[in-house]
Amino acid sequence: MRHVTEVQIAFGRKLGLDLTGKSLGEAEAMIFDVIRREFNGMTDLGSPTPKQIELAAKFQRDISGVSRAAGDAVITDLMTDLNQQAIERQRLAPGVVVVNRHDAFPRKYVISSIHEDGTVYFRGGQGKRAWARSLSRYSGHRSSRCPGIPITTSS
């Protein structure tokens, strides 16, 4: 996750914001909130959902007092971090065979590419993809989650 620079922190101060330690996404949401409040005259910027607040709290983040846009940015950052951790832990890369833990009918997929947000695309095209955090590297042995089903190259 990319964080704001000193130049961006100084810009935020001009708007009355403390962007220290914020991610780019969260900082952009906070700046957008200033524009919506000060420039557009909006008074209700929404708030994070109870599920978002609960999820953020599991990662020691309190988003209960922020706008919906800032809450969304924090959740996006958390999910991206989980994806990056999964990519590193599972050593996911193009050519690796994986299974999606959430598939009702487990199939093996071959990774084609991985986007920087953790979206994993599979060979065969047609937009087949999954979040890295939902995948397990296929170990080659049969199990109840991945019986001897052929590798899927298109769906």
Q: What is the pLDDT of residues 11-26, one digit of tens each?
A: 999 999 999 999 999 9
Spans in the chain with pLDDT lower than 70? 141-155
Q: Which pLDDT belongs to residue 141?
A: 52
User: CATH 2.30.30 occupies which residues in the chain?
Assistant: 92-152
Q: Which pLDDT belongs to residue 129?
A: 94
Look at the chain and count its residues: 155
Q: Which pLDDT belongs to residue 154?
A: 46
Class of domain 92-152: mainly beta
Specify whether the CB–CB gap between 129 and 122 falls below 8 A.
Answer: yes
Q: What percentage of the chain exceeds 70 in pLDDT?
A: 90
Specify whether the CB–CB gap between 78 and 59 falls below 8 A.
Answer: yes
Q: Which pLDDT belongs to residue 12?
A: 97
User: What global pTM score does this model have?
Assistant: 0.79
Q: Which pLDDT belongs to residue 146?
A: 44
Q: Which pLDDT belongs to residue 74?
A: 96
Q: Which pLDDT belongs to residue 66?
A: 96
| Cα–Cα dist 1/82, whole Å | 11
Q: Which pLDDT belongs to residue 1?
A: 76
Q: Is 26 helix (H, G, I), strand (E, B) or coil?
A: helix
Question: Burial letters for 30-43: b for 16+ Cβ neighbours within 10 Å, e otherwise?
Answer: bbebeebeeeeeee
Q: Which pLDDT belongs to residue 126?
A: 82
